[in-house]
Amino acid sequence: MMNFAVFASGNGSNLQAIINAVKKGRVRANLKLVVSDNPSAYALKRAKKANIRSIVVEPIGFPDRESFDREIIKRLEQEQIDFIVLAGFMRILSPVFIRKYPHKILNIHPAILPAFKGAHAIKDAFEYGVKVTGVTVHFIDEKVDHGPIILQELVKVSPRGTLASLEKKIHAIEHKIYPKAVDLFARGCIKIHGRTVKIR
């Protein structure tokens, strides 16, 4: 069974969805470690409650992103981590990190990529007036919100809805499809051909 780490900087609701899925046997992999750059992250409390080891590596004190990432890589190697799941980790990983784990870093984005990249995707889509938005699970590469797409699911935007109601719908979809993507990866069901991800 593969070991994986979840990286989170904040509330950790996607982390919680993954923890629940692991406990129910819907993710067939060992969630061995939670990593955060924020000692106040609620995600750390979720990890503690679930008896999952967690570490905090704060960027203060590191001269650059690469040094920070090398420290995290060292910790991952100590824990024999096979792949990484980003769940609201608010730092851009350096090429040093990405090249260490090629096609082994999963991320979730609250829009249908390549539309509405960036940190405010739900708000951006809502304010643009789209009729449909959604959720994308993808691999990380060296460009932001760019790597090969694993899963996507659409969300209709109600003309009577609010930003808050749209966020709620988006998060519900995230909590459903992210554990599914993690399980597919852990079971070796994903094959990558260029930008195309095939699921078997």
Looking at the annotation, which residues are catalytic? Answer: 109
> Would you call 90 helix, strand, or coil by DSSP?
coil
Cα 147 off chain centre by: 12
Report whether 106 contacts 139 (CB < 8 A): yes
Q: Is the dihedral of CA 127, 128, 130, 135 positive or negative?
A: negative
Helix (H, G, I), strand (E, B) or coil at 85: strand
**Sequence letter at residue 191:** K
- Characterize 39-68 residue by residue with b for buried, 16 or more Cβ atoms within 10 angstroms of its Cβ, and e for exposed: eebbbbebbeebebebbebeeeeeeebeeb
Look up residue 180 and give its amino acid. Answer: K
Question: What crossing angle do the helices spanning 121-128 and 163-186 adopt, rounded to 10°?
Answer: 130
